[in-house]
Amino acid sequence: MNLFLKILHRRSDGFHELETLFQAIDYCDDVLVELNDLGQISLEVTGLEAGPVKDNLAYRAASAYREAAGLQEGIHVRLTKHIPAGAGLGGGSSDAAAVLRGLDYLTEGLLDTEVLKKIASNIGSDVSFFLCHSTTALAHGRGEILEPIEPLPEETLLLILPPVHVSTRNAYEMLGRSSDDNGHHTDLSLIRARRDWDTIISSAHNDFEVTTADLYPEVRCSLGALRQKGYPLVLLSGSGAACFAIARNDSDVESDARDLTEELGWPCLVTRTLESYPLVTPISAKP
């Protein structure tokens, strides 16, 4: 998710320059990667809809790795989708990074770190973040230039998933301008120096929030419902549609999640921010 997101000018390559603070959370898809003797790449998806196979970032990651490493083996990816597409939570990007991590493990580090970073950057702007060693990172460029910082202490998170798909491309088109004139300026040097939740809360901002909330009433309702609960930080993630609140160890957060799920009619989940990524876990061969 993004703890702040500032959109700057459009670049000559068509992307927008941005500044953001990425934070990993304990909400993910399940990704299993296997090498086989079939000599091709296959993707098996269960759970939520993930779109055409060859457009899937996990599939593209497997294909790019296989080509760069010159692998003769086939690759099979089993993907169980929990994160909705168009939620602004980096679901597809984290899937791609998980595939790269899995293949790096299975091939015993056949490709060096710089090659992996290049593959990640070519697949998507956010993929590089999920490959870096820190769960908290400042990002520049189109999101691929990372400045990992010391992870923030773990905090409880209330996450709302409105039932709408927000196209990142369309969100940028609707924004339609540089956000330099919006009056909000985040002091990145302060975040680098202090790295605490009080600083993050005072700096939190997302340039997409007003536009996305105007376009999607479900997003506006979700943000409003969280703010009515009085949480210290409420924000849109990415271009949306997911909205979140940092609960700061609020003992009523589970009750709030149940109440909001009933009130809004869509999922409201309690999770947490991460201080470290889970390790790649080998699965024993079936008998």
Average pLDDT of the chain? 91
**67, 165: one domain:** no
Domain identity same for 125 and 185: no
What pLDDT, on the 0 to 100 scale, is given for residue 89?
Answer: 96
Question: Which pLDDT does position 285 carry in this prediction?
Answer: 47
Distance in angstroms (rounded) separating the CA atoms of residues 143 and 115 = 18
pLDDT for residue 175 = 80
Establish if 234 belongs to a structural domain. yes
Q: Which residues contact 55 (CB under 8 A, 6 or more apart)?
A: none
Judge contact between 77 and 31, C-beta under 8 A.
yes
Tally of domains within the chain: 2
- Which pLDDT belongs to residue 173? 82
- Residues 265, 222 contacting (CB under 8 angstroms): no
The gap from C-alpha 79 to its chain's centroid, in whole angstroms, comes to 16
| Residue 34 domain boundaries | 25-134
* 145-186 residue pLDDT tens: 999 999 999 999 999 999 999 988 888 888 864 344 455 556
- Evaluate whether 237 touches 1 at the Cβ level (below 8 Å): yes
CA distance linking residue 175 with residue 196, whole number of Å: 30
Query: What's the pLDDT at 178?
Result: 39
Same structural domain, 178 and 265? yes
Among the candidates 104, 134, 164, a domain finishes at: 134
| In a shared domain, residues 162 and 265 | yes
149: left (phi over 0), alpha (psi -120 to 50) or beta: beta
Task: Identify the domain boundary among 134, 169, 195.
Answer: 134
Instruction: Return the CATH number at 213.
Output: 3.30.70.890
| Percentage above 90 pLDDT, the chain | 76
* Three-class SS state of 169: helix
In the predicted model, what is the mean pLDDT of residues 95-116?
96
CATH number of the domain that 94 lies in? 3.30.230.10
Same-domain status, 172 and 130: no
What pLDDT, in 10s, does the model give residues 25-55?
Answer: 999 999 999 999 999 999 999 999 988 999 9
Say if residues 31 and 105 touch (Cβ distance below 8 Å): no
Whole-prediction pTM value? 0.92
Confidence of residue 221 (pLDDT cuts 50, 70, 90): very high
Residue 147 lies in a domain: no
> What is the average per-residue pLDDT within 264-273?
97
Whether the pLDDT of residue 235 is over 50: the answer is yes
First to last CA, the chain: 40
